[in-house]
Amino acid sequence: MQKNLVIVESPAKAKTIEKFLGSDYSVLSSYGHIRDLHGKGLCVDVNNNFKPDYEVSPDKAELVKKLKKAAKEASMVWLASDEDREGEAISWHLYDVLGLNDAGYKRIVFHEITKSAILSAIENPRKIDLNLVDAQQARRVVDRIVGFEVSPILWRKIRPSLSAGRVQSVAVRLIVEREREINKFDAEVFYRVTAQFTLPDGKTTVKSELNKKFKTEAEAQAFLESLKTATFTIEDINTRPGKKSPAAPFTTSTLQQEAARKIGFSVSQTMSVAQRLYEAGLISYMRTDSLNLSGLAINASKEEIFKEFGEKYSKVRQYHTKSKGAQEAHEAIRPTYMSNRTVKGSPQEQRLYKLIWERTIASQMADAELERTTVTVNISNRPDVKFQMQGEVIKFDGFLRVYMEDTDDEAADESMESLLPPMKLNEILTLAEASAAERLTQKPPRYTEASLVRKMEELGIGRPSTYAPTISTIQQRDYVLKGNKDGDERPFITLVLKNEKIAKNVKKETVGADKNKLMPTDSGLVVNDFLTENFPRVLEYNFTANLEKEFDKIADGDVKWTDTMKHFYDLFHPVVEAVAASKTEHKVGERVLGTDPKTGKPVSVKIGRFGPFAQIGSAEAEEKPTFASLTKNLSIETITLEEALNLFTLPRAVGELEGKPVTASIGRFGPYLKYENAFTTIPKGYDPYVITIEDATQLIKEKQERDANKLIKSFPEDAKLQVLNGRYGPYIAFDKANYKIPKGAVPAELTYADCQKIIKEAPEKKPARGGRFAKKATEKKTTAKKTTAKTTTAKKKK
């Protein structure tokens, strides 16, 4: 009989912990939650104190049997799920489902997976904290009620398959409001003046900037004219010491932000990689809003700094969490062993670990000492303005030796700050060149995943465990798109004064371009507007933040979770009933743009089952309306009547190729050409509305050539089996599944038996987490292998 059974959430965590415990302990994994609210229906009895109706997940039935058997055979069960509310709830569900009693279980927590932490947890067990469980339960029930009661209204009022969520809807609102700020932003033109001066030695040049911006070209021109006769004197040299202090060690949100800025990780990718590092025992728990470091971590950092950089680089610091709701864990994210500067693992794991190590070590290092110098240059005939130069010298690098925090500031760094040469008061400078460049005021920046996390944290929306899932959900549900936006090309003027002559140049630049930014889709815009109008309280930032504070109070034992639920439901449910019963004149999200000049029928845009579309005519008229899908560059919020009418010019006759028609159109997957019942994608750079027959012919011929070279070999034994040329090289295709050809094999020489063997020996692909399509692909491969096996057996029998 096994004396001790330890249950954790993940097999990777189980594997690491098993190394630290003796033969008296068996470690098994619950693979996350084993029980949740039923998948169908509300599953919350609102008339019986909001009692939840839980079920064991169907895919966990066998696992639960295994855990029950192991629990019965053990003299003590140790519940070792994560130390946050979600982890506490996992332990409570295990206690309940496995039929444990108070004498037969112990709850242990740790925020790093090291031998000392695990043994310390074993020595200091506790019971399940029901306050934390209730806080998690309250969040889960509120989210189920919001989703279950609001989503059906969206299906009826807008279109099927839409959904609403308490936190996700507020996150979408942030993105929608920012997009509208950008659309309304009216950029103002100004002229920025810079100058290059030569020092008295006749060799050294310095750059400077005028401390005033001009609004018009005429003002800038007049100023440059005045410089022709001016004398330039150094009026003031101001040198002052300065210092920079290191950033605090990582919390969940700051790790997500900095990983995005420094190594280009998405929020969900950061959490996935951090989870693997934690489960391997390399970093402390990664869902935390605490800035605290343990005394052990501080001393280990100090030793490492002494050894690597010397005593003068060390400065012990203890950071304190400002967030009132900080509760997810008791320590910041840090390496478990500060002596490990690098770790083994995937490239992503190594890069994220390096970032965490550097941030942690820098937080315990001395300030960087600087010397900042500002030089002011007087203009003899314009005493109202000055030229200024700024320079910065690092006297002692301190923590900068290891790490410097990045920012999300997108404004172009146009400062003249640099290392300045020696200069003296009252020196006369010679103007080498001055220029006035036309610039535009900056529009508000779109959110990145990282800056959205920062904003959510600032507003108190969500908690460390919810940021990544929320941002992933709003993208998966097609409310928000992470993508690029092409800018607009615009001319801009530069005036250059050189050798007492002013030259005017007109150059071109691209403005408004964005990369990897979050933008609302048409569905996101329409759903947001509907929810904001009809459920203003639920979409308020303060309401969501205050609900998070209520969850914190429940976790602290100050409030009963059922009282919070009753208060919420009494406010929320009557609004749901009123909105469900209301009727609207137009379909929600519909915009009437005007009238079609050819038919006199109304032209409108709205959201449909397959996305946004334009419509000529109305459903009430005798003649059926005509429809056209909106292209990716158009939005129902900004589309004009002219743009909408242009959509109805497709499909368009482009011309003829070898006596047969070629047409251009736009389908569900983008623009395409149709020729002889074959389709050719129209790539980026070509417009289906204006593409010429010459360009169309070239694209069609190129596709025909690719198709002709695609088939390497087919087999009379089975028409479904082929060796094909693909984008990444030759491969075997069989029964809608693809198989890699082993190195050294010549694709054209493969026999039918060779292909069967490759298919049979191909490794099973792991389905993507929660991925429907990956699961189907795996099923197809399994079916293909069975089919191959049957074919081989049948041939042997013959």
Q: Of all helices (H) and strands (E), which one includes residue 372? A: strand 368-379
Q: Report the distance separating Cα 785 and Cα 585, nearest Å.
A: 56
Residue 681's SS3 state is: strand
Measured between alpha carbons, how far is residue 64 from residues 59, 67, 90, 556 in Å? Answer: 10, 5, 13, 31
CA distance 20 to 116: 9
Confirm if 483 and 516 have CB atoms less than 8 A apart: yes
Question: What is the Cβ-side half-sphere exposure of residue 440, based on CA atoms within 13 angstroms?
Answer: 15
- Active-site residue flag, 728: no
Helix 267-279, helix 467-476: angle, nearest 10: 140
The structure tokens 């389709």 sit at 679
Q: Which tokens is 122 given?
A: 């074993």
DSSP conformation letters of 478-522: TSEEEEEE--EEEEEEEEEEETTEEEEEEEEEEES-EEEEEEE-H
Three-state DSSP class for residue 537: helix
What is the crossing angle of helices 61-73 and 85-97, to 10°? 70
Kindly write down the DSSP assignment for every residue of 256-279, as one continuous string. HHHHHHHH---HHHHHHHHHHHHH
Of 199, 21, 203, the residue nearest 117 (C-alpha): 21
226, 382 Cβ separation under 8 angstroms: yes
Is 599 in contact with 606 (CB distance < 8 Å)?
no
Count of residues in the chain: 798
Tell me which of 54, 191, 278, 285 is the catalytic residue: 285
Side-chain-facing half-sphere of 704: CA atoms under 13 Å: 12
Place of tokens 């052990």: 296
Omega of the bond leading into 651 within 30 degrees of 0 (cis) = yes
Rounded Cα–Cα distance for residues 638 and 244 (Å): 45
The three-state secondary structure class of 287 is: coil
Residue 543 to residue 567: CA distance in whole angstroms: 13
**At residue 462, what is the residue type?**
G
Which residue numbers are catalytic? 285
